[in-house]
């Protein structure tokens, strides 16, 4: 076959014909897939050079029978936590040549139907938290659509990525008890999400080990306004420490304390979770978790599962990963005799 004129763009079909392979093999060879032998990759690349072929994402998508888009489902999209996960997911997906469709189920009566519809329009889907039930997850998995679950308990046969909650919450509680705090409040709803249940459970476990009662539970939403509301209720008789489900709630409690003339940490300690940027400026003791990494791993795992599906019926066993989290001590829980001051606002 003669090389085409440079004035005419070659197609992936012509490259496949020239190399004597399928268009799917052309696409895999151009991505250096391990599913293609070195000899076949060389033959495909020779055809690409001979035909002056320039790959494009649409052509690859058609070749592999896919949409070139992944989906991700969130319970909500407000707040820095979800923004960071989206950034990690989108950045990794973009590097892999995929676009991203995002669905938030907050206050949607048709959440299950909306997620099922999205699953039919993407090549792979990440589902975060308790956005849909396990039955819906199983129904999507049964169609062959690659799935990754984020921040929720595993479902048989589906990949799952979580962050460590209970163990780090126990370390946080131990630290606060070492400060001399004895009366605790937990601001958040353990029934709202698996992550919150783990944080509350770790706190309860640690306090029990120290012979202390359970923390007073103040269920609330996960934004600054909810934290302010809880904080106002507590200021008449503040506890020793308010352990908040996330940084936004903690910042709200902090604002309410200041408005009531209370001092953090002199009158009460306040802690958060996530280590968002505002927490660093506020000197908030918190727990750092790899939010962007959570999203990025999900996108990469999905890409791998999509490749497996396109290659044939064989599929690797489901994966489970728990990403580490880390206690970050700053001034909002008070100074500790055993700690060395850090000029950046934390402790060494």
- Residue-wise pLDDT tens digits, 190-220: 998 899 999 999 999 999 999 999 999 999 9
H or E element in which residue 187 lies: strand 184-187
Of residues 311 and 307, the one with the higher pLDDT is 307
- Whether the per-residue pLDDT at 343 is higher than 60: the answer is no
> Is a pLDDT exceeding 60 seen at residue 180?
yes
Provide the token pair at 201. 């459970």
- Is residue 79 left, alpha or beta, with left meaning phi > 0 and alpha meaning psi from -120 to 50? left
**Cα–Cα nearest to 322, from 152, 193, 90:** 152
Q: What is the mean pLDDT of the chain?
A: 87
CA 31, 291, 130 angle in degrees (round to 5)? 100
- Contacting residues for 107 by C-beta, under 8 A, at least 6 apart: none
DSSP for 85-132 reads HHHHHHHHHHHTT-EEEEEE-TT-TTHHHHHHHHHTTSSEEEEETTSS
- 191: nearest Cα among 220, 214, 170, 162: 220
Between 166-178 and 194-209, two packed helices, what is the crossing angle to 10 degrees?
40
d(CA 150, CA 29): 31
Query: Could you give the dihedral angle defined by the CA atoms of residues 302, 25, 29 and 313, in that order, rounded to the nearest 10 degrees?
Result: 30
d(CA 265, CA 80): 24
pLDDT band at 36 (very low <50, low <70, confident <90, very high): confident
Is residue 15 over pLDDT 70? yes
The answer to whether 346 touches 286, Cβ cutoff 8 Å, is no
Q: Looking at residue 239, what is its pLDDT? A: 97
CB-based contact 307:35 (threshold 8 Å): yes
Mean per-residue pLDDT for 137-142?
Answer: 92
Q: Give pLDDT tens digits for 82-117.
A: 999 999 999 999 888 888 999 999 888 888 999 999
345: left (phi over 0), alpha (psi -120 to 50) or beta: left
CA distance 106 to 205: 31
Of residues 223, 129, 227, the one with CA closest to residue 186: 227
* Percent of the chain that is helix, strand, coil (3-state, to 5): 45, 15, 40
Residue 337 confidence (pLDDT): 52
Q: What is the DSSP letter of 287?
A: E
**Alpha carbon distance 93, 96 (integer Å):** 5
pLDDT tens sequence across 153-172? 999 999 999 999 999 999 99
Range 66-94 average pLDDT: 88
Q: pLDDT tens across 234-266, in order?
A: 999 999 999 999 999 999 999 999 999 999 999
Provide the angle, in degrees to the nearest 10, between the axes of the packed helices 80-95 and 291-311.
40
Helix (H) or strand (E) holding 184: strand 184-187
Handedness of CA 231, 235, 237, 243 (dihedral sign): positive
What six digits make up the tokens of 63?
A: 């070749």
Domains and CATH numbers, the chain: 1-43 (no CATH), 67-163+291-322 (3.40.50.2300), 166-289+327-333 (3.40.50.2300)
Q: What angle do CA 52, 55, 59 make, to 5 degrees?
A: 125
């Amino acid at each position: 076959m003669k090389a085409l004129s440079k004035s005419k763009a070659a197609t992936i079909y012509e490259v496949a014909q020239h190399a004597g392979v399928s268009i799917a093999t052309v696409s895999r060879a151009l991505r250096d897939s391990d599913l293609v032998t070195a000899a076949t990759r060389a033959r495909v690349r020779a055809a690409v050079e001979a035909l002056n072929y320039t790959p494009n994402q649409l052509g690859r998508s058609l070749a592999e029978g896919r949409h070139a888009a992944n989906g991700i489902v969130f319970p909500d999209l407000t707040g820095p936590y979800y923004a960071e996960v989206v950034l990690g997911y989108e950045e990794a997906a973009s590097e892999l040549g995929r676009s991203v469709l995002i669905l938030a189920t907050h206050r949607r009566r048709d959440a299950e139907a909306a997620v099922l519809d999205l699953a039919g329009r993407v090549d792979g889907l990440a589902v975060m938290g308790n956005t849909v039930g396990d039955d819906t997850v199983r129904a999507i998995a049964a169609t062959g659509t690659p799935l990754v679950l984020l921040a929720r308990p595993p479902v048989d046969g589906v990949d799952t990525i979580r962050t460590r909650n209970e163990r780090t919450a126990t370390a946080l509680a131990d630290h606060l008890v070492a400060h001399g705090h004895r009366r605790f409040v937990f601001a958040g709803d353990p029934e709202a999400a698996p992550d919150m249940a783990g944080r509350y459970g770790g706190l309860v476990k640690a306090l029990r080990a120290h012979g202390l009662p359970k923390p007073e539970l103040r269920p609330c939403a996960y934004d600054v306004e909810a934290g302010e509301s809880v904080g106002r209720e507590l200021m008449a008789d503040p506890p020793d420490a308010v352990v908040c489900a996330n940084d936004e709630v903690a910042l709200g409690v902090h604002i309410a304390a200041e408005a009531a003339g209370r001092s953090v940490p002199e009158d009460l300690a306040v802690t958060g979770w996530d280590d968002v940027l505002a927490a660093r400026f506020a000197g908030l003791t918190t727990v750092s978790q790899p939010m962007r990494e959570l999203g990025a791993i999900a996108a990469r795992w999905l890409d791998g599962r999509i490749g497996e599906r396109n290659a044939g019926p064989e599929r690797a066993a489901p994966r489970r990963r728990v990403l580490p989290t880390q206690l970050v001590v700053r001034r909002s829980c008070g100074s500790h005799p055993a700690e060395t001051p850090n000029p950046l606002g934390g402790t060494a």
